[in-house]
Chain A
């Protein structure tokens, strides 16, 4: 590790010249997903921690623009002053995650259940590609169909197509109050059926997670809205479910989930997109391997804490035709499992980074 150097440009121009003068670059934001910004010998870390600050925020517009290195904590606090929030509920906010890192890793949290993920709220981006070119895609208004959707291309690009330097997001008013129901289920099948029914129901659900607690599937269902109506809405939900109970200290539960407080230290952490149909067989295999796991977004994805070698998880996911992104763990390649669209990504990368200054994607 000692053979890696770190540079921290203070301006977009400095990012451009840094890219032109370094042969191998790894971009690092807050470093909260360590594997995705890990550098090896000969690589230069381009840290974004000096590229910070909210550039533009008009609360009445429900849109903000900030430099990529800005910590989400700062953004969340600025939004909260006006009763607004990031509806895609990015993870690791309290751990120091940055705006750029969140886009580049394409991560959303439990709150994505209500309105969608990071891809659905990013409206514009400025990035420096592997040739040092400053490129803009999208804009600063909530609706925009002009040009190719470069912002979406950068979601999940892990800093390997370019360095995101600035981004614009739309935001929403935050529900003034929340309540959560904890509802243990007799079997996994029952849990998945409950998720399917809830997701197709007219209940407005902010978050819908499935945990396995001592072998028992447990649903955590969060509702949000006007404090005056929440109690009645929760009662409706409880009687519709025919079970479960209000969760005390519900905010702490979701905050702890957001920083993966449940995942054992030293274990690898992987995100795997799933569906209600793929969960049963994955769940069985994860249980057999002694992995800890938590499903979020109404069964849209799993966070997997993996105790052993990641090659075993890679084989497992490949066999199930699932894919995964490693946030932390020992690996030389950030993905595990099956992969689609790799050939297309390679063609795109050749345009944006022909000299391969950024690692392979």
Chain B
């Protein structure tokens, strides 16, 4: 239990209306989008100013009490799961865009700003913020920074780390640091890049300088249907090898197609075993020429049908189906697990065939909706937690998929992060020395290991409580697990 002193001091710092202590008030903060786990904190601080965050972190440091910073709680790896009896610092109210400079194409934002709101604010200037996780309507920049979030358009312009230029942060011991700045270039170690993706273990970002990109003149989008998932995977390898550089390449399997159709009527061909979406973007003349080339590659890849988006509305419909597919599939089943391992792109077909085989062997349905251009899989393992043994089988299946990714030369996570969910897989990807060095770096910044304790590093701690079914926000369709 945290010392009464901490709670007393917090009470002097934070008005009672923004310092939640009662279980009923704290329920929404007990879990994130990895709904299988929950934990009850001792208190939730609804911070409204950077100073409140800094002082809360300093108090936690002084009393050695763990804290978890949290945005909208859309983490799929349990990254914002509270520490039992620790403090949650909720950052949604730090949601100001402090500065938007269209001339220098940067935005300086607080961590609680919603991802899509950056693009909305930049839109009048013909600019946008590129990283687009499917939860971009609700997820926050602070969470994106902590977990180096990706999205459908990472292929060409990279993940969150590639779009963050500077960070003002409070380290776990209360020191406030400025990393990077407004320039795209830097000298000395890339501390900004090092902070991004540290999963909250390096402290809390208070102000983030983001780079904005000009909107492309033209998008051209094609939808190709295949008779097998493997064929669609092989087509991706062919597009990559053709020398084209699409902005996005996405695959959906039959289960996902069916669910997406039922949910939003995207106009997908229902009889396909797999759909491939490829999108080119850029200057009009160049894109038109490349698109002709792309269509030749797609035609020769054994596609059953090829549909080209005629206009913006058509394109929007294709993407709506894709972005809603995840939650749509989720509704087919009482429970599901999502993995986001990565494999080399040339081995996608092989990986998909293996997943299909594992699915049959474990007698569990697996849906696939994923960022194919990056080799970033998203197998969605459907199960019913109320049927004895199904959760264990689902976890075993998930674990085998992760091992397959590593065996193929890939990674255990492409964009969801390690969090608490995949921490036990870190030793399969990294050596003991690698992990030791990472742990030492962490302790150099956080001697008491209070910042987001229990994440990223394998521990012997007792797991958090298990729960069942959809997250309350997920049931309302606000949150989606991807």
| Residues of chain A whose beta carbon lies under 8 Å from any beta carbon of chain B | 58-63, 83, 106, 108, 112, 115-117, 119-120, 129, 133-137, 139-150, 152-157, 161, 172-173, 196, 199-204, 225-226, 228-229, 232-233, 236, 271-277, 297-298, 300-301, 323-325, 335, 339-341, 343-345, 347-348, 350-352, 361
CA of A133 to CA of B439 in the docked complex: distance in angstroms?
14
Tell me, rounded to whole Å, the shortest Cβ–Cβ distance linking A212 to chain B: 19
CA of A136 to CA of B183 in the docked complex: distance in angstroms?
28
Contacts of B436 in A (CB 8 A): 133
Tell me, rounded to whole Å, the shortest Cβ–Cβ distance linking A343 to chain B: 7
A-B contact pairs, 19 of them (CB 8 A): A60-B346, A106-B186, A112-B185, A135-B437, A145-B147, A146-B417, A150-B437, A152-B196, A173-B243, A173-B245, A200-B103, A202-B283, A233-B283, A273-B184, A273-B186, A273-B187, A274-B183, A297-B185, A301-B184
List 5 additional A-B contacts (Cβ < 8 Å) besides A116-B184, A146-B430, A149-B194.
Answer: A60-B345, A146-B417, A148-B194, A196-B104, A340-B181
Contact of B193 among A152, A232, A325, A339 (CB under 8 A): A152
CA of A196 to CA of B283 in the docked complex: distance in angstroms?
18
Tell me, rounded to whole Å, the shortest Cβ–Cβ distance linking B81 to chain A: 17
The stretch among B153-161, B270-278, B305-313 that forms the contact with chain A is B153-161
Contacts of A236 in B (CB 8 A): 285
Decide if B190 touches A156 in the complex (CB within 8 Å): yes
Tell me, rounded to whole Å, the shortest Cβ–Cβ distance linking B143 to chain A: 13
Does B415 interact with chain A (Cβ within 8 Å)?
yes
Contacts of A229 in B (CB 8 A): 285-286, 289
Decide if B240 touches A60 in the complex (CB within 8 Å): yes
From B191, which residue of chain A is reached at the shortest CB distance? Answer: A341
Contacts of A276 in B (CB 8 A): 103-104
Decide if B159 touches A145 in the complex (CB within 8 Å): yes
* CB proximity to A under 8 Å, residues B72-128: 102-105, 125-127
Decide if A323 touches B191 in the complex (CB within 8 Å): no
Decide if A58 touches B283 in the complex (CB within 8 Å): no
Contacts of A196 in B (CB 8 A): 103-104
Give the interface centre of A83, A161, A232, A339 by most chain B CB atoms within 10 Å: A232
Decide if B189 touches A157 in the complex (CB within 8 Å): yes
* CB proximity to A under 8 Å, residues B145-167: 147-148, 150, 154-159, 161-162
Decide if A361 touches B415 in the complex (CB within 8 Å): no
Tell me, rounded to whole Å, the shortest Cβ–Cβ distance linking A347 to chain B: 5
Q: A145-B417, A155-B193, A348-B444 are in contact. Are A204 and B289 (CB under 8 A)?
A: no
CA of A320 to CA of B189 in the docked complex: distance in angstroms?
21
From B173, which residue of chain A is reached at the shortest CB distance? Answer: A347
Contacts of B431 in A (CB 8 A): 136
Q: A63-B344, A276-B103, A300-B185 are in contact. Are A152 and B194 (CB under 8 A)?
A: yes
Decide if B104 touches A277 in the complex (CB within 8 Å): yes
Contact of A341 among B161, B178, B214, B441 (CB under 8 A): B178
Does B380 interact with chain A (Cβ within 8 Å)?
no
Contacts of A172 in B (CB 8 A): 245
Does B179 interact with chain A (Cβ within 8 Å)?
yes
Decide if B409 touches A141 in the complex (CB within 8 Å): yes
Q: A155-B189, A273-B187 are in contact. Are A145 and B413 (CB under 8 A)?
A: yes
Decide if B434 touches A137 in the complex (CB within 8 Å): yes
Tell me, rounded to whole Å, the shortest Cβ–Cβ distance linking A265 to chain B: 23
Does B361 interact with chain A (Cβ within 8 Å)?
no
Decide if A120 touches B188 in the complex (CB within 8 Å): no
Decide if A347 touches B374 in the complex (CB within 8 Å): no
Contact of A117 among B105, B184, B194, B198 (CB under 8 A): B184
Tell me, rounded to whole Å, the shortest Cβ–Cβ distance linking B107 to chain A: 13
Decide if A146 touches B418 in the complex (CB within 8 Å): yes
Tell me, rounded to whole Å, the shortest Cβ–Cβ distance linking A300 to chain B: 4
Q: A141-B342, A228-B289, A341-B178 are in contact. Are A347 and B444 (CB under 8 A)?
A: yes
Contacts of B179 in A (CB 8 A): 340-341, 344
From B443, which residue of chain A is reached at the shortest CB distance? Answer: A351
From B167, which residue of chain A is reached at the shortest CB distance? Answer: A341
Does B396 interact with chain A (Cβ within 8 Å)?
no
CA of A142 to CA of B343 in the docked complex: distance in angstroms?
9
